[in-house]
Amino acid sequence: MKKMRDRNLVASLFLLLFCAGYAYLTANLATRAIENTTQPSFFPWVITACLTVLSFSLFVQACIPNSIQTVPKPLDIPPKRLGCALILSISYLALLPILGFVGANILLFSGLMYLYGERRLTQILTFSFLISIIIFYLFREIFQIRLPAGILERIL
Amino acid sequence: MSPDIINGFLQASQVTTIIAVASGCFIGLIIGMIPGLTISTGIIIVLPLTFVLEPDISIALLLGLYVSGMTGGSFSAILLNIPGTPSASATALDGHPMAKKGEGGRALGIAIIASFIGGLFSFLCLYLIAPILAEIALKFKSPDLFSLVFFGLTIICSFAAKSLIKGLLSAVIGLAIVTIGQDPMMGTTRFTFDQVNLISGIHFLTALIGLFAIPQLADNLSDILQAKTQNKNSSSINSILPKILDLKLMRLPMIIGSAIGSFLGILPGAGGPIAAFISYDYARKFSKKSEEFGKGSPEGIAAPESANNAVTGGALIPMMTLGIPGDPVTAILIGALLIHGLAPGPLLFVENGEFAYGIIFSFFWANIFNVVIALIGLRYLVRVLTIPKTLLMPTIAILCVIGSYALRNNFFDVYVMFSFGLLGIIMRWLDIPIVPLLLAMVLGRQLEEHLRVSLISSQNDITVFFTSPFSLLFLCLAGASIFWSFWAEHKSKKETF
């Protein structure tokens, strides 16, 4: 119970900070000199007000020691695997514009296969190559969605 | 009979549309039965494939997937005791015990027939109620529409969250995200940070892919041992068609399930799982053999299965007539319609009546093909349960990336998708529901537009929302929904103490 209260406290403080940032940006929005009309900042101000009230309510709720707050089922991922998944995702996003969809997808696919528990190298290599290429051509040729191939453009 | 109805039926009965419905049903049954994949994820995966299709064919395919996904979820619930979709959780209570007795085929047969009846009942509701509701909705003016959307948001928050504050927070965060890009009235850019990619805002489907698919992929990462073993113990399937005695037993639970499912489907946010459990509970109360519930009772399978399939037609009613999604799947369907330049709402029946009725009849065909494909292909379809997650999950990841890229042919959307994935994981960690955020993203623009148009037309007079009877009614309902949620939360806390 205390664990969830701590989480709510962190979330409410973060949200209050977010509110402040959002309000600052809203205050600096361009205005239009048209009579009897609402400005572009009108709706963001409404949101700022609602968000502030709700974040503050969450903060109060987090401060009340007796409030019942159940902790959701945690994502029970071993930290090492979680770290690997994060590194894999970031590398994928960085490499995607350079390698294009085929190259980057082969890397992502093989990495994910390993993370999901596949340890046979031949299986990893075969399926990551095969499925990435099939999906690429399926979208490119049949669905006519032009997927960039990056440095492999000349080969594919 | 209106020419729109006839043309709609003919449109839905064209060979290409029928093929699309059947393909959707086939994919839906497969996706539905795979534990760890929800119908929403399935539709997200398939959606990019529909960009090149005609709107009627595209929607027909997605409807097939929606209907069959609900039925497919019961297959793994019965055979493995792992519900393929949350809506099939109640089915597992009696379905799996029956399968353990060696009557897996019988349980699956009951589930398929009950799904069919539930779907058909909700089709009738959709066919009869939607045009009437659309006609009433045509009379709505901006203040009424604002209040309606506002009511939709409050009811979604109260249904989707254990804590109303968190539900509302999720919705307000969604509204804040919607303000990124051009303002809907004057075209002024807001919160774009001079980023060209943000001028047209954050695409709702990009956010949706990230919010739903990434946490699910992460979730599956945590149970690789289970993933390796779970799929090997599906029991053998004997005769599928239910016997006359079973059909007699199923009558009342199917009526209960169909009525509850259709009604709860109309309410935004209630969804399949709630309908399934409520129907299960009522079926047990009305049953002469209530002691058999939980031990493999046919009634215990029929009630929730008819209910979760009846939800599909019910959820289409507010989506088509008011433009308000009843659940995440109908929210995606709205996105799919918008991509094709069609806005769901009362005007859909006026401006595109043929198309609107086409959707309704495609839904009818979806229910027919669902039962046909499920009954004929069941023995082969359940083999999908043996596909290892080591292949399935990476394939889904790749399809999600391509799907978000294909929306606007832009790498930026892929980055946005991953960011929303991270947000989804954080929200789960904080126990903040995702659905209100998603629905706020769908409805946010309309909410702002109607609010500002109302204020401009009334020269900033706020009483305009209270002088119109429709608007007043929706605001009262919104107030009641918020009050009810607070009261329910307070009551549950009291009971816990």
Hey, what are B190's tokens? 């807001």
Do A46 and A85 belong to one domain?
no
Q: What is the domain count for chain A?
A: 2
pLDDT tier at B1, thresholds 50, 70, 90: confident
Inform me whether the pLDDT recorded for B231 exceeds 60. Answer: no
- The span from the CA of A35 to the CA of A14, in Å, is 37
Instruction: Please report the pLDDT score of residue B400 as a whole number.
Output: 85
Separation in Å, CA A2 to CA A64, B29, B425? 10, 42, 20
pLDDT tier at B233, thresholds 50, 70, 90: very low
- The span from the CA of B376 to the CA of A66, in Å, is 56
Instruction: Please report the pLDDT score of residue B159 as a whole number.
Output: 61
| Residue A33: closest C-alpha in chain B | B186
| Residue A118: closest C-alpha in chain B | B390
In chain A, where does DSSP find H-type helix?
2-27, 42-63, 79-115, 121-137
Mean predicted confidence (pLDDT) in B352-360: 91
Do A87 and A141 belong to one domain?
yes
Residue A156: count of CB within 10 angstroms of its CB: 15
Mean pLDDT (chain B, rounded) = 85
**Gap from B442 CA to chain A (nearest CA, Å):** 16
Domain membership flag for residue A68: no
* B253 residue type, one letter: P
Name which of B185, B431, B492 is nearest A4 (Cβ-Cβ).
B431
Q: What is the pLDDT of residues B303-349, one digit of tens each?
A: 999 998 999 999 899 888 888 887 778 888 888 888 888 888 888 88
- The beta strand positions in chain A, using DSSP E, are none
More confident residue, B94 or B225: B94
Q: Are B31 and B41 in contact (CB under 8 A)?
A: yes
Mean predicted confidence (pLDDT) in B461-471: 89
Inform me whether the pLDDT recorded for A48 exceeds 60. Answer: yes
Least confident of A58-62, B25-29, B354-358, B492-496: B492-496
Name which of A40, A97, A146 is nearest B190 (Cβ-Cβ).
A40
Do A96 and A131 belong to one domain?
yes
Inform me whether the pLDDT recorded for A17 exceeds 90. Answer: yes
Mean predicted confidence (pLDDT) in A98-126: 91
Do A43 and A99 belong to one domain?
no
**Residue A33 structural domain:** 2-63
Check B176 against A51: CB less than 8 A apart.
Answer: yes
Inform me whether the pLDDT recorded for A72 exceeds 70. Answer: no
- Supply the DSSP symbol for A88: H
Q: What is the pLDDT of residues B53-88, one digit of tens each?
A: 888 999 999 999 999 998 888 887 888 777 777 778
Hey, what are B325's tokens? 């999604």
Interface mutation vs chain A, best among B158, B165, B432, B447, most A CBs within 10 Å: B165
Do A87 and A53 belong to one domain?
no
Residue B493: count of CB within 10 angstroms of its CB: 13
Mean predicted confidence (pLDDT) in A55-59: 93
Check A32 against B188: CB less than 8 A apart.
Answer: yes
- The span from the CA of B31 to the CA of B20, in Å, is 16
**Gap from B410 CA to chain A (nearest CA, Å):** 10
pTM value is 0.80
Q: Does B389 touch chain A (CB under 8 A)?
A: yes
Check A131 against B218: CB less than 8 A apart.
Answer: no
Ramachandran assignment for A77, one of left (phi > 0), alpha (psi -120 to 50 degrees), beta (any other): beta
Instruction: Please report the pLDDT score of residue B369 as a whole number.
Output: 95
**Gap from A151 CA to chain B (nearest CA, Å):** 16
Instruction: Please report the pLDDT score of residue B75 as a whole number.
Output: 85
What share of chain B has pLDDT > 70, as a percent?
Answer: 93
Mean predicted confidence (pLDDT) in B1-7: 86
Check A93 against B397: CB less than 8 A apart.
Answer: no
Q: Are A125 and A74 in contact (CB under 8 A)?
A: no
Name which of B397, B405, B431 is nearest A108 (Cβ-Cβ).
B397
Inform me whether the pLDDT recorded for B371 exceeds 90. Answer: yes
pLDDT tier at B118, thresholds 50, 70, 90: very high
Domain membership flag for residue A140: yes
Inform me whether the pLDDT recorded for A88 exceeds 80. Answer: yes
- The span from the CA of B412 to the CA of B400, in Å, is 14
Instruction: Please report the pLDDT score of residue B259 as a whole number.
Output: 93
Inform me whether the pLDDT recorded for B91 exceeds 80. Answer: yes
**b or e along A32-49 (b: 16 or more beta carbons within 10 Å of the residue's beta carbon)?**
eeeeeebbbbbbbbbbbe
| Residue B392: closest C-alpha in chain A | A113
- Torsions phi, psi of B354, nearest 5? -60, -45
Instruction: Please report the pLDDT score of residue A68 as a whole number.
Output: 54
Q: What is the pLDDT of residues B180-229, one digit of tens each?
A: 999 888 888 999 998 888 998 898 888 888 888 888 888 877 766 555 54
The residues, any chain, with a CB within 8 Å of residue B99's CB and separated by 6 or more, are B78, B79, B107, B235
Q: Which of B104-108, B150-154, B290-294, B472-476 is predicted most confidently?
A: B472-476
Q: Which residues of A touch B185 (CB under 8 A)?
A: 37-38, 40
Mean predicted confidence (pLDDT) in B124-146: 89
β-sheet bridge partners, residue B181? B190
Q: Are B351 and B62 in contact (CB under 8 A)?
A: no
Domain membership flag for residue A110: yes
Interface mutation vs chain A, best among B164, B182, B194, B402, most A CBs within 10 Å: B402
Check A75 against B425: CB less than 8 A apart.
Answer: yes
Mean predicted confidence (pLDDT) in B156-180: 83
Residue B456: count of CB within 10 angstroms of its CB: 15
Inform me whether the pLDDT recorded for A134 exceeds 80. Answer: yes
Quote helix, strand, coil % in chain B, to nearest 5: 80, 0, 20
Do A85 and A51 belong to one domain?
no
Inform me whether the pLDDT recorded for A27 exceeds 90. Answer: yes
Instruction: Please report the pLDDT score of residue B229 as a whole number.
Output: 47
Check B394 against A113: CB less than 8 A apart.
Answer: yes
| Residue B225: closest C-alpha in chain A | A117
Q: Which of B209, B214, B228, B208 is nearest to B35 (CA)?
A: B228
Instruction: Please report the pLDDT score of residue B378 as a whole number.
Output: 82
**CB neighbour class for A74 (10 Å; exposed up to 12, middle 13-18, buried from 19):** exposed
Do A44 and A104 belong to one domain?
no
Domain membership flag for residue A71: no
- The span from the CA of A140 to the CA of A144, in Å, is 5
Intra-chain end-to-end CA distance of chain A, in Å:
55
Do A143 and A89 belong to one domain?
yes
- The span from the CA of B319 to the CA of B268, in Å, is 9
Instruction: Please report the pLDDT score of residue B270 as a whole number.
Output: 62
ipTM computed for the complex:
0.90
